[in-house]
Amino acid sequence: MSFTYKGKPILPTKAVLSELSEIDVNLYEVAEILEKGFEIRKRKKGVIERGLQRGNKIINVVVVDLGDYYKLIHAGEFSLSKNFKKLMRDRNGI
C-alpha cells in the first residue's frame, strides 16, 4: 500500500498515528486532504498545511518535505467559526 502526494510517499510519525485515530482519519484520506484541500496558513519553506471541510469541522494535516518523502507531523480537527469561514472564503474563493 502506497500513500503518496506529488509522487512521494507520506510517512507518519508514531504520534500522528494516534492523532489520526482520534479524529477517525486514515492515510488514504490524508493524501486526499493534501491533494484536494485548501491552504490553512503559510508555513516556512518545505512545510505544507492543508485542510478539508467535513461537516462543521476542518480536518487539517501538516507535512514536511524531506526530499525523498513527506513526513506527516500533525493531524487534527477544529470547529468552523464565522471569522474562519469568511477568511477562507476571501483567501481561497470557497
pTM of structure? 0.81
Bridge partners for 70 per DSSP: 10, 65
DSSP state of 59: E
Question: Region 57-74: what's the mean pLDDT?
Answer: 93
Question: Region 28-42: what's the mean pLDDT?
Answer: 89
pLDDT confidence bin for 1, thresholds 50/70/90: very low
pLDDT confidence bin for 65, thresholds 50/70/90: very high
pLDDT confidence bin for 93, thresholds 50/70/90: low
Tally of structural domains, the chain: 1
pLDDT confidence bin for 42, thresholds 50/70/90: confident
Residue 40: exposure state from Cβ atoms within 10 A (0-12, 13-18, ≥19): buried
- Higher-confidence residue of 17 and 56: namely 17
CATH number at residue 49: 3.30.2310
Domain of 15 in residue numbering reads as 4-92
